[in-house]
Copies of this chain bind each other. A is one copy, B any other.
Amino acid sequence: MNAPHPTELQASPHSALETPVARPAVVARKASVIYQAADRPVHALSEIDFTINRGEFVSLIGPSGCGKTTLLRVIADLEPITSGEVLVNGMTPSDARERRAYGYVFQAPALFPWRTVLANVMLPLQLIGRSKAECEAIAREQLGRVGLAGFEKKYPWQLSGGMQQRVSIARALGFEPKILMMDEPFGALDEITRDKLNEQLQQLWLRERRTVVFVTHSIAEAVYLSTRIVVMSPRPGRIVKVIESPLPFERDLSIRDTPEFTRLAQEVREALAEGHQ
């Protein structure tokens, strides 16, 4: 299924994708979620089947209300499934959570205003009982990676929205999660900041090769970042199409002007329109 890629090294986690038996990070089988709303039940997810392999960058895209967030929440054990099965690293989501498998980045930064930027990034590490010095070292490093060295002592409300979102990403990364879950992390930012963060996220993924599950509304963002794009449609939430990205792993923003990119984007747009009927 996965086309081997020239820039790929055998040793990298991504190599898993090339072996015949891919190591799945997330497996969903006939997973359904039905919300019991006041008047009638809402089929948020309907018999979803899919697999995310380790080291993949998977984007979920679809119109509002199609169940992207729900799917992410199910994987991260924030929402129970009504029927079917979801396995994360071979465990139930709940077990995976207990083993600190997840780093979750929400649309809003969700930083604690009473903690400095540094203390915010240290928080998950402190929770798992790492020593203070260790926490601090990791936090500083992660802040450096997202370009926020020097802002450690500031409070979240002293930063711009884009910077806050980067802190939230640093916090998720510092936790060294097996799976990074991102729910429209850049939705609230302006296009230019967003472009920058996209670029940084892409590089980060390239460096660390974590499994990333990414929710977005933006076709360009999905195409630019992902190795695989899952297009969803609403009522009931289901997967319309799964598109493998033929783009090289190493990308910069200029890739958006290539015909390959445009073709991929067009494919996604068509799949979206299809699901929209």
Interface positions of A (Cβ within 8 A of B): 63-64, 160, 187, 190-193, 217-219, 257, 266, 272, 276
Contact = CB atoms under 8 A, between A and B. Distances in A.
A206 B187 CA distance: 30
A218 B192 contact: no
Q: Which 9 A-B pairs give the minimum distances between C-beta atoms? A: A191-B217, A190-B217, A63-B192, A64-B190, A191-B218, A64-B192, A64-B193, A191-B219, A192-B217
Contact of A192 (B190, B192, B266, B276): B276
15 contacts: A63-B190, A63-B192, A64-B160, A64-B190, A64-B192, A64-B193, A187-B190, A190-B217, A191-B217, A191-B218, A191-B219, A192-B217, A192-B272, A192-B276, A257-B266
Which of A64, A160, A187 has the most C-beta atoms of chain B within 10 angstroms of its own C-beta?
A64
Contacts of A272: 192
A62 to B, nearest CB: 9
Contacts of A217: 190-192
A193 B218 CA distance: 12
Contacts of A257: 266
A240 to B, nearest CB: 14
Contacts of A192: 63-64, 217, 272, 276
Nearest to A192: B63
A64 B266 CA distance: 28
Nearest to A188: B188
A64 to B, nearest CB: 5
A154 B157 CA distance: 36
Given A191-B217, A191-B219, 4 more contacts: A64-B190, A190-B217, A192-B217, A192-B276
